[in-house]
Chain A
């Protein structure tokens, strides 16, 4: 897959804004993807197998190849951006810190009690609904200490008790501590003093304070966020430290940058202080990569749909900004930390089809996963999956799956589909079409959830299909949602690594404010924002970003009495007009999302400041420079939903599609990492930047 610089596409040269080479490395479960871009704008990528348990090995291997085969010089690397799954894996594998939790007197069980609700309402036997594994009760300790709701001290911090609790926790073997005191977000003095005492006595400990991690109301949510942060801190610190050492040994002087869940990178030093912001590092990089590809094609608003073997992840970028939500999900547990709003449903290529007791066709939620995988993989899977249906319908060439690296068993696929076709009283082909219809309906609803539900009309967006299976479903999903443009990145397989190169340095800071709007002095908003700005600016300075910073201020707002906030951008208004302008902006947003907005009193829950450097542009386009058309490499009979007979699809190889190409469906575009199905009624062309633009054919042409 590697290319020499001479093969690079001339149109992807950019003005050299830096003197050296930028590197992006994304470590996935199977492959580690590396992209690089030289100062003259030439770029390339390579893939090396990931090494489970020792992710740094793949990085070392990949870097060695960059130096040896691609003319990259360690000393000239000026940016090194990294997407990591270490935080997520520590949680999934339950291999985080031996953690201690110190709380205000009376509140050590908050982590375990949670909000007392369950996710499955009709199950009579349910598992634990809170992440107790982070810190079992024996490791949760209390100290006399208490603030009132207005921040006044009710009980002073008992430093002696604290010292004795931390000594006992250390004796029990803890290597990290989370400290969560009630109302600490109003005044963090007690938490900070507690950290001082902890570190004076045990300087080797990793410490997370709730007033740093999640400084706002609701003690369970804040406790969960802080304990998740502390739980992954030691492993993430060890990992990033080892990587920095490795890079230094290679002669790389550039600071290590890490992708955060919000879609911006930060320096490793800062990332190590708040690892909770890294849980969605990989997927966030993919969304930013999608934005980069779209930007090169002149498109600012996209919906990315990443369909893999077991899940379908949907995210939305509106006017160049990924949609962010302030509470995400980590291993099924809600965690209040800002993340790109990725909505995940358990529908993918491995989803298993079955016939229920009433004779209807169901797909999922069970999945054949990667092992044994779909029946057509020939690894022992017998149950019919979505991928098997794709083979039966002719979308996937059994001889050219994953670039020919895995030969598929078409007969096994058909035999598996027959197991549902029989009970349904359908032909194998009709059953396969049915499986696609059902799974597409599930995915379309997931897309609706992140768009319509958030007040956006999907018809104003381009669909960017990602993952091995995304492009197979793209035209169908677009038709279902009224979307008329689809943009297929040239190399969906390295999009996350590409996103790393394109991501801005970003720092978000917020704090609980908790005031009714009409009783708020605009000066207090300015004052608190100034304090937040100082913190954000200091973080940017630590990451070496001085100029070209954009600043976004916003307020989490709700009507008085409500609990869920809307993130409202602070209007550009003079002090005397600020409060009314903020109120109007809130009403407009509330109306857009919830469909009603009576002129009731509103309040500000949190204030937020986001500092962002100018986003880079990776624009890793296709390698070919040729202009001209596209020659089909053959034809294949395929079946399309809604047509009672097969149609003849032109088969293209992605590498054979030149810049001036235009062709219409039915067609299939094959490449090593994915297959694109273009249904009749859609036309493909090559967009600036090298992505394939697939558009709905209108009557006007």
Chain B
């Protein structure tokens, strides 16, 4: 039923309330990022906040990390299944991270706090943050060589961390005992809870002012109108069924086996269907992705291809059906390892855009690198202090009609920032020898693809455990409308003794003093035939040295 037609729809108040809700989630996000400890959260903003209705429908989301925003929906649903809102108390805090119960991968902890007004739950404030370490076989908890989820770290099903304001000390002690940096983890959990409570206070103020029931009706209206606008935007797209295919390098275990992502996107009658039939079966290594992550990619996709002016909430996500073959890469059976989900999710999101770019190349770009290289260096300093240094390195974005791709940019599902060399070197015995654009890595075209990055690390004091999760070492970002593919990724270890080991996209190994790691991230695809590139742009590329191919 069209609730907006119902008596009481106030086209002004709805906008006033929307602005307030969006302001609340932004405040929540800023509080979380600034108050957190984990370098991945504070430097790379790998954290997200949402406000939910009591039935787990999104009311408002922070402008942060799309990979979390959809996943938070599943975590919240899972928590509500175990702890129905009717049994919640003011002051409760809930936590979950298990991917098979609604989580994403183990380092992402979801915290949820119910918001009470008029003696009942009128909203849920929730956020998800990537924690520095949740145990498992490798520091940093993203082992590319994991073969089951038990190796990936501590699994937390839906749990109540605090009841009516009183924390469950036993549970906290269990968590602390299972992770490598308990103080940091607890600090970040505190920042998450605090951000939820800040949001809760503001929601309560709004309920006092507008009335709890009225506010709940407004949530309904906001969600319905985003749904309506989304359906209308889908009707304006070229209707039909579009296909995309991309290939992941390997799963970190079977290094020579490529993994297919096959996606059919159907745009019909104001509805989107994502069908993954034909996608590879689940893999032994951690490149599997649980359905929550696929839905995140679908949510990102629908926001990216509809109208940016539509307020983002659960209504936008209603006109979506996702078909996930059981036992496949995108719907694995427990206990398959899943820590590498981000790599898959980014490529799925890229496939969504690529499928539509085939029919509307004037609106969508060529493929972006659509991958973020994740590395973890860990060990102990001479004084015995443990450290885990994580680095995230992006590639180039795809070119589009009238615009070169952007060099060195996080695209699609993630918005991670590179870690400054000065922070890396301050935090552990590493030296960054260079951070530069990967010249020649942009796909050729009338508009050139964005360049990737070359970064070189030197180990000052080994041994150091090293994890490298790359992508696009074997499959380039494709061009569009006649444009060429972006450059491939390439990484190698240059041992102190002079031997060179090429990293086959993923590796877990040990680095010794004097060893160097050189990584080169992939470029974005080009747009249009290269021979159409304007002479001025060619000359600029020449002057800037962006077009010449050089060895990393």
Cβ contact within 8 Å between B198 and A595: yes
Chain B, residues 297-331, CB within 8 Å of chain A (1/0): the string is 00010011101111010000000000000000000
Contact of A116 among B31, B39, B417, B421 (CB under 8 A): B417
- Give the contact stretch, choosing among B276-284, B399-407, B465-473: B399-407
Taking CB atoms and an 8 Å cut-off, the chain A residues in 410-461 that contact chain B are: 424, 426, 433-434, 437-438, 441-442, 445, 448-449, 452-453
Chain A residues, CB < 8 A from B406: 126-129
Query: Chain B: how many interface residues by the 8 Å CB criterion?
Result: 94
Cβ contact within 8 Å between A514 and B410: no
- Give the contact stretch, choosing among B89-97, B153-161, B172-180, B538-546: B538-546
Taking CB atoms and an 8 Å cut-off, the chain A residues in 263-306 that contact chain B are: none
Query: Chain A: how many interface residues by the 8 Å CB criterion?
Result: 71
Taking CB atoms and an 8 Å cut-off, the chain A residues in 509-560 that contact chain B are: 514, 559-560
Chain A, residues 206-226, CB within 8 Å of chain B (1/0): the string is 000000000001111100000
Tell me the smallest distance from the CB of B522 to a CB of chain A, in Å. Answer: 14
Cβ contact within 8 Å between B19 and A217: no
Taking CB atoms and an 8 Å cut-off, the chain B residues in 518-535 that contact chain A are: none
B16: CB under 8 A from chain A? yes
Cβ contact within 8 Å between B435 and A107: yes
Cβ contact within 8 Å between B31 and A559: no
A113-B453, A137-B437, A449-B23 known; A562 vs B37 contact (CB < 8 Å): yes
Cβ contact within 8 Å between A122 and B303: yes
Cβ contact within 8 Å between A362 and B308: no
Interface residue SS majority, chain A: loop
Chain A residues, CB < 8 A from B31: 594-595
B55: CB under 8 A from chain A? no
Taking CB atoms and an 8 Å cut-off, the chain B residues in 27-79 that contact chain A are: 27, 30-31, 33-39, 42-43, 45, 63-66
Cβ contact within 8 Å between A561 and B12: no
Tell me the smallest distance from the CB of A373 to a CB of chain B, in Å. Answer: 23
Chain A residues, CB < 8 A from B20: 441, 445
Cβ contact within 8 Å between B225 and A360: yes
A126-B409, A562-B35 known; A359 vs B225 contact (CB < 8 Å): yes
Cβ contact within 8 Å between B15 and A122: no
Total of A-B residue pairs, C-beta within 8 Å: 219
Chain B, residues 403-434, CB within 8 Å of chain A (1/0): the string is 10011111100011110111101100001111
Cβ contact within 8 Å between B437 and A596: no
* B20, B403, B420, B543 interface centre (most CB from chain A within 10 Å): B420
Cβ contact within 8 Å between A357 and B228: yes
A126-B397, A438-B19 known; A600 vs B183 contact (CB < 8 Å): yes
A106-B436, A424-B11, A445-B20 known; A596 vs B304 contact (CB < 8 Å): no
Tell me the smallest distance from the CB of A327 to a CB of chain B, in Å. Answer: 12
User: Which A residue's beta carbon lies closest to that of B429?
Assistant: A149
Cβ contact within 8 Å between A117 and B45: yes
Cβ contact within 8 Å between B304 and A434: no
A160: CB under 8 A from chain B? no
A109-B436, A149-B425, A598-B186 known; A115 vs B417 contact (CB < 8 Å): yes
Taking CB atoms and an 8 Å cut-off, the chain A residues in 119-171 that contact chain B are: 120-129, 136-138, 148-149, 154
| Separation of A472 and B297 alpha carbons in the complex (Å) | 45
Contact of B11 among A359, A559, A563 (CB under 8 A): A359
A112: CB under 8 A from chain B? yes
Chain B residues, CB < 8 A from A514: 426
A110: CB under 8 A from chain B? yes
A358: CB under 8 A from chain B? yes
Contact of A219 among B64, B400, B420 (CB under 8 A): B420
Cβ contact within 8 Å between A125 and B400: yes
Cβ contact within 8 Å between B416 and A117: yes
Cβ contact within 8 Å between B417 and A117: yes
| Separation of A553 and B210 alpha carbons in the complex (Å) | 45
B220: CB under 8 A from chain A? no
Contact of A118 among B409, B420, B437 (CB under 8 A): B409
Cβ contact within 8 Å between A438 and B415: no
Contact of A358 among B23, B229, B415 (CB under 8 A): B229
Cβ contact within 8 Å between B16 and A441: yes
Chain A residues, CB < 8 A from B300: 122
* A121, A183, A600 interface centre (most CB from chain B within 10 Å): A121
A402: CB under 8 A from chain B? no
Taking CB atoms and an 8 Å cut-off, the chain A residues in 566-596 that contact chain B are: 590, 594-596
Taking CB atoms and an 8 Å cut-off, the chain A residues in 223-250 that contact chain B are: none
Chain B residues, CB < 8 A from A361: 11-12, 15
Contact of B34 among A125, A137, A564 (CB under 8 A): A564
Cβ contact within 8 Å between A562 and B42: yes
Tell me the smallest distance from the CB of B198 to a CB of chain A, in Å. Answer: 6
User: Which B residue's beta carbon lies closest to that of A437?
Assistant: B12
A319: CB under 8 A from chain B? no
Taking CB atoms and an 8 Å cut-off, the chain A residues in 463-512 that contact chain B are: none
Cβ contact within 8 Å between B408 and A114: yes
User: Which B residue's beta carbon lies closest to that of A438?
Assistant: B15
Cβ contact within 8 Å between A438 and B407: no
Cβ contact within 8 Å between B410 and A358: no
| Separation of A128 and B407 alpha carbons in the complex (Å) | 8
B289: CB under 8 A from chain A? no
B193: CB under 8 A from chain A? yes
A126-B409, A357-B229, A360-B15 known; A109 vs B545 contact (CB < 8 Å): no
Cβ contact within 8 Å between A434 and B12: yes
A110-B435, A148-B431, A445-B23 known; A116 vs B420 contact (CB < 8 Å): no
A371: CB under 8 A from chain B? no
Chain B residues, CB < 8 A from A109: 408, 435-437
A82: CB under 8 A from chain B? no
| Separation of A3 and B107 alpha carbons in the complex (Å) | 69
B335: CB under 8 A from chain A? no
Taking CB atoms and an 8 Å cut-off, the chain B residues in 62-120 that contact chain A are: 63-66
Cβ contact within 8 Å between A116 and B394: yes
Chain B residues, CB < 8 A from A452: 27
User: Which B residue's beta carbon lies closest to that of A110?
Assistant: B435
A608: CB under 8 A from chain B? no
Chain B residues, CB < 8 A from A321: none
Chain A residues, CB < 8 A from B162: none
| Separation of A448 and B453 alpha carbons in the complex (Å) | 40
Taking CB atoms and an 8 Å cut-off, the chain B residues in 177-226 that contact chain A are: 183-184, 186-187, 190-191, 193-194, 197-198, 224-226
A116-B408, A116-B409, A117-B45 known; A594 vs B422 contact (CB < 8 Å): no
B14: CB under 8 A from chain A? yes
Contact of B4 among A358, A433, A438, A445 (CB under 8 A): A358
A116-B409, A358-B229 known; A449 vs B27 contact (CB < 8 Å): yes
A449-B23, A594-B35 known; A124 vs B422 contact (CB < 8 Å): no
Contact of A124 among B13, B364, B456 (CB under 8 A): B364
| Separation of A183 and B425 alpha carbons in the complex (Å) | 10
- Residue pairs across A and B with Cβ atoms less than 8 A apart, 25 shown, are A107-B435, A109-B436, A109-B437, A112-B408, A120-B63, A121-B65, A137-B543, A149-B425, A356-B229, A357-B228, A360-B11, A360-B14, A360-B18, A361-B15, A426-B11, A437-B13, A438-B12, A449-B23, A559-B37, A561-B187, A562-B36, A564-B34, A595-B31, A596-B194, A598-B187
- Extra pairs beyond A109-B408, A149-B426 (9, CB < 8 Å): A109-B435, A116-B416, A217-B422, A359-B11, A363-B15, A437-B12, A562-B42, A563-B39, A594-B34
CB-CB nearest 9 A-B residue pairs:
A106-B434, A358-B225, A115-B417, A434-B12, A137-B544, A561-B37, A563-B42, A594-B35, A445-B23
Q: Interface of A with B (CB < 8 Å)? A: 105-110, 112-118, 120-129, 136-138, 148-149, 154, 182-183, 217-221, 355-363, 424, 426, 433-434, 437-438, 441-442, 445, 448-449, 452-453, 514, 559-564, 590, 594-596, 598, 600
Q: Interface of B with A (CB < 8 Å)? A: 4, 9, 11-16, 18-20, 23, 27, 30-31, 33-39, 42-43, 45, 63-66, 183-184, 186-187, 190-191, 193-194, 197-198, 224-226, 228-229, 232-233, 300, 303-305, 307-310, 312, 353, 364-365, 392-394, 397, 400, 403, 406-411, 415-418, 420-423, 425-426, 431-437, 453, 456, 540, 543-546
